[in-house]
Amino acid sequence: MAIQFNQVTKKYGPEKALDDVSLQFQPGKIYGLLGPNGSGKSTTLKLIAGLVYPSSGTVTVLEEEVTRKISRKVAYLTELDMFYDSFTVDKMVRFYETQFPDFNMEKAAQLLKDMKLDGKKKIKQLSKGNRGRLKLVLTLAREASIVLLDEPFSGLDAMVRDSIIKSLLTYIDFDEQTVIIATHEIDEIEPIMDEVIAIYKGHIIGHENVESLREEQGYSVLEWFKSTMGQRGE
């Protein structure tokens, strides 16, 4: 098993971001983690990345209980910008190479070319769309076993979203890597998902194989998600 949550609860003060969640992610699949803002998506990814720890229960990644050291196995694209604005694009790429032994410079160079990013340009000069592309370059250039993408489409136009989808299909090693995309933008990722998980108020309220949804139940992912949320009165 690539990732396992065993009765995980995560509290921030008195509030439960996740409540007694048990969940498994298998290797070599793309998962969509769907839910409205504040549902627990980002907390789930942060627990996998070792950025926060469970209040109770355990999270294991590749049979190893998660600590901050798990970052060597997990590539994490945060919704936030984590850049040094004074750096050029090339300098940011070289910085990542020093931080992660699995960072592949050849892959990064090809991604920069595909994303049409100018390596000499300072990050503070980049548009929001190009900052989003750079985040993806830095994440996908790593050859980590686990790839986490938190709201990768947030605020980006259709052309950038399309380039992100194409890069995922091109640069993910489906034999070796497990990908989890946390988003409320469902239409973009439906064609590439293997499994979909719905999360709401810290609870897993649905988990389905996407192909089975379409072929056996006749649902698109969006229709299934709306139905699942509707059963909760949302």
Per-residue pLDDT of the chain in tens (234 residues, 90 and over written 9)? 899 999 999 999 999 999 999 999 999 999 999 998 889 999 999 999 999 999 999 999 999 999 989 999 999 998 877 788 899 999 999 999 999 999 999 999 999 998 889 999 999 999 888 888 899 899 999 999 999 999 888 777 777 788 778 888 888 888 889 999 998 878 878 888 999 999 999 999 999 999 999 898 898 999 999 999 887 765
Per-residue pLDDT, 1: 87
φ and ψ of 218, to 5 deg: 70, 25
Amino acid occupying residue 143? E
Domain that holds residue 222: 3-230
The domain total for the chain is 1
**29 burial type by CB count under 10 A (0-12 exposed, 13-18 middle, 19+ buried):** middle
Amino acid occupying residue 198? A
Amino acid occupying residue 116? K
Per-residue pLDDT, 234: 59
CATH number of the domain that 41 lies in? 3.40.50.300
For residue 22, give both structure tokens.
């048990």
Rounded Cα gap, residues 114 and 234, in angstroms: 40
Asked if residues 22 and 5 have their Cβ atoms less than 8 Å apart, the reply is yes
Q: Hey, what's the torsion of the CAs at 165, 167, 173, 175, to 10 degrees?
A: 20
Per-residue pLDDT, 114: 87
Rounded Cα gap, residues 83 and 131, in angstroms: 9
